[in-house]
C-alpha cells in the first residue's frame, strides 16, 4: 500500500536564519543614523552650556576671548563665531564660483568631446585627485599657488575694485579668503566634475540624436538637450562641493590668516574659518574653551548637514526637469 507523504507546508514566512540576517543587516544599515545622532548628542551636550550662556551673540558677535586668573579660573569670556562663519561662507562661495565653470567644462569635455582613450585616463586622474590628502593641497597652495593667486588678486582689485567685495582697506593680499577659496576650488573640482559627468552621461541618447538629426551643432545640442536635462544635477554637485569646502580644515588653516573680525572683503588678507578656528585654538585651550570649540563644531556640523540635505534634495530632482 502506498503511503502518501504528509503535505508540505508552504509559507512566505522567512526562516529563522533569514530573520536573523535581515535584522543584522538592518542594524548595520542604521549605523549611519546612530553615528550622526551620537555626534549631535555629544557635541550638543558639551557645547550647549556655552551656547545658552552666549545666547544669540554666539553667532552675531565676532569676539573670541578668554582670560583666566592665577588659579586658572575663567574670569571673563566671550565666544562669538560671526567672523568665522562669514569667512567660512565667503571662501566656500569663492570656491564654488571658481570651481563650477571649470568642472562643467571638464564634464562636458569628458562626455562629448574627448576621444575614448583620453577619457578613461582623465577620469582616473580626476578620481585620484579626489583622494589627495588635504594637507597636500594646503602645502602646495601655500608654497606654490599663493604667489600666483596674489598676483590675480591684485589685478582683480585694480580693475574691479569699484565692486565692494573686491575692494580692500589695507593693501595686504597675502593669505586672504580669496586664496583659501581658490585652494578649496581645486579641492572640490573632482567632486563637482564627477557628479556633473554622471548626470550628463544619463542624458537620453534619443534626444541627443534627435538634436543632431535636426542639424544642431555640438554646442547647440548641448545647450538645447544636455544642459536643461542636467542643470539640477550640476547645482546639486555644486552644493555638495560647497558642503565639502565649508568643512575643510587643514588646507584652509595653512593658507588663511585668521582674524577675529568680520571681513567681507575677499581679497584682504584677513579671514575666518570655523574648522580652522578649532585647530588654531585647540592646542592652548582649557576644558572651558574646548566646550566652546565643541559648540563651534556643532554649528559647523549643522551648517554642512543643511547644505548636504539641500544638495541631496536637488540631485534627486534630476531628470524630472528638462525637455
Partner 1 sequence: MSYENVKPRSPWKASKKDRLINASIFLATLVFSFVFVLISPLSGKLGYFVTFFVTYALANAALSFKRYSVKAAKDSAIQVLIVCGSLLAVLPIASIVFTVISKGYKGIQPHIFVEDMSLATATDPISNGGLLHAITGTLTMVAIAMVLSVPLGILTALYLTEIRGRFSRPIRFLVQAMSGVPSVVAGLFILSAVIYPITKANSGFMGSLALTILMIPTVARTSEEVLKLIPEDLREAGTALGGTQWRTVAMIVVPAARSGLITAVILGVARIIGETAPLLLVTGGGDKVNPNPFDGAMGSLPYYIWKSFGSGSEDGITRAWAGLLVLLVIIIILFSLARLLSSRKVSR
Q: Which of residues 228-287 bind partner 1 (CB under 8 A)?
A: 240, 243-244, 246-250, 254, 275, 278-279, 282
Here the cell at position 183 is 585652494
Q: Does 193 bind partner 1 (CB under 8 A)?
A: yes
Using alpha carbons, select from 41, 44, 66, 62 the residue that is nearest to residue 287. Answer: 66
Q: Does 151 bind partner 1 (CB under 8 A)?
A: yes
Q: Terminal CA-to-CA distance of the chain, rounded, Å?
A: 73
> What CA dihedral angle connects 152, 153, 158 and 163, to 10 degrees?
130
Q: Does 103 bind partner 1 (CB under 8 A)?
A: yes
What is residue 144's DSSP assignment? Answer: I
Strand positions, DSSP E, 64-177: 64-68, 74-79
Q: Does 32 bind partner 1 (CB under 8 A)?
A: yes
Residues 4-23 that bind partner 1 (CB under 8 A): 14-15, 17-18, 20-22
Complex with partner 1: residue 234 or 311, whichever CB lies closer: 311
Min separation Cβ 176 and partner 1, Å:
18
Complex with partner 1: residue 15 or 164, whichever CB lies closer: 15
Min separation Cβ 1 and partner 1, Å:
31
Q: Does 159 bind partner 1 (CB under 8 A)?
A: no
Complex with partner 1: residue 145 or 259, whichever CB lies closer: 145
Residues 80-99 that bind partner 1 (CB under 8 A): none
CA atoms within 13 A of residue 35's CA, in its CB half-sphere: 6
Complex with partner 1: residue 259 or 310, whichever CB lies closer: 310
Q: Report the alpha-carbon distance of residue 92 to residue 89 in Å, rounded.
A: 5
List C-alpha distances in Å: 85 to 191, 237, 272: 23, 22, 7
Q: Does 212 bind partner 1 (CB under 8 A)?
A: no
Q: Does 290 bind partner 1 (CB under 8 A)?
A: yes
Complex with partner 1: residue 24 or 163, whichever CB lies closer: 24
Q: x-or-dash pattern for partner 1, window 59-78, by CB under 8 A?
A: --------------------
Min separation Cβ 247 and partner 1, Å:
3
Q: Which residues contact 30 (CB under 8 A, 6 or more apart)?
A: none
Q: Does 300 bind partner 1 (CB under 8 A)?
A: yes
> What CA dihedral angle connects 89, 94, 96 and 101, to 10 degrees?
160
Backbone phi, psi, residue 67, to 5°: -130, 145
Using alpha carbons, select from 305, 312, 303 the residue that is nearest to residue 89. Answer: 303
Q: Does 38 bind partner 1 (CB under 8 A)?
A: yes
Q: Does 293 bind partner 1 (CB under 8 A)?
A: yes
User: Among 60, 65, 97, 101, which residue sits at the site for partner 1 (rule: CB under 8 A)?
Assistant: 101
Residues 104-133 that bind partner 1 (CB under 8 A): 104-106, 108-110, 113-114, 122, 124-129, 131-133
Q: Report the alpha-carbon distance of residue 148 to residue 154 in Å, rounded.
A: 10
Amino acid at each position: 500500500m502506498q503511503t502518501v507523504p504528509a503535505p508540505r507546508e508552504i509559507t512566505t514566512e522567512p526562516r529563522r536564519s533569514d530573520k536573523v540576517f535581515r535584522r543584522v543587516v538592518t542594524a548595520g544599515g542604521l549605523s549611519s543614523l546612530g553615528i550622526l545622532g551620537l555626534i549631535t548628542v555629544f557635541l550638543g551636550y558639551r557645547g550647549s552650556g556655552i551656547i545658552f550662556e552666549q545666547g544669540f551673540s554666539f553667532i552675531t558677535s565676532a569676539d573670541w576671548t578668554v582670560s583666566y586668573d592665577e588659579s586658572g579660573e575663567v574670569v571673563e569670556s566671550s565666544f562669538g563665531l560671526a567672523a568665522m562663519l562669514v569667512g567660512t561662507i565667503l571662501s566656500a562661495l569663492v570656491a564654488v564660483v571658481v570651481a563650477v565653470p571649470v568642472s562643467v567644462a571638464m564634464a562636458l569635455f569628458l562626455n562629448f568631446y574627448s576621444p575614448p582613450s583620453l577619457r578613461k585616463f582623465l577620469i582616473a586622474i580626476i578620481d585620484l585627485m579626489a583622494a589627495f590628502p588635504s594637507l597636500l593641497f594646503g602645502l602646495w597652495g601655500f608654497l606654490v599657488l599663493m604667489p600666483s593667486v596674489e598676483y590675480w588678486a591684485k589685478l582683480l582689485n585694480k580693475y574691479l575694485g569699484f565692486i565692494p567685495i573686491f575692494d580692500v582697506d589695507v593693501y595686504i593680499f597675502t593669505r586672504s579668503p580669496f586664496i583659501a577659496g581658490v585652494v578649496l576650488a581645486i579641492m572640490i573640482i573632482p567632486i563637482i566634475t564627477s557628479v556633473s559627468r554622471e548626470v550628463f552621461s544619463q542624458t537620453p541618447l534619443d534626444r541627443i540624436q534627435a538634436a543632431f538629426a535636426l542639424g544642431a551643432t555640438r554646442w547647440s545640442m548641448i545647450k538645447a538637450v544636455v544642459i536643461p536635462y542636467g542643470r539640477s544635477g550640476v547645482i546639486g554637485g555644486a552644493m555638495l562641493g560647497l558642503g565639502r569646502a565649508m568643512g575643510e580644515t587643514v588646507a584652509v588653516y595653512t593658507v588663511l590668516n585668521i582674524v577675529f573680525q568680520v571681513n567681507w572683503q575677499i581679497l584682504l588678507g584677513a579671514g575666518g574659518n570655523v574648522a580652522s578656528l578649532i585647530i588654531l585654538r585647540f592646542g592652548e585651550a582649557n576644558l572651558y574653551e574646548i566646550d566652546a570649540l565643541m559648540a563651534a563644531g556643532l554649528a559647523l556640523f549643522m551648517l554642512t548637514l543643511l547644505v548636504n540635505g539641500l544638495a541631496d534634495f536637488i540631485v534627486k530632482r534630476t531628470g524630472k526637469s528638462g525637455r
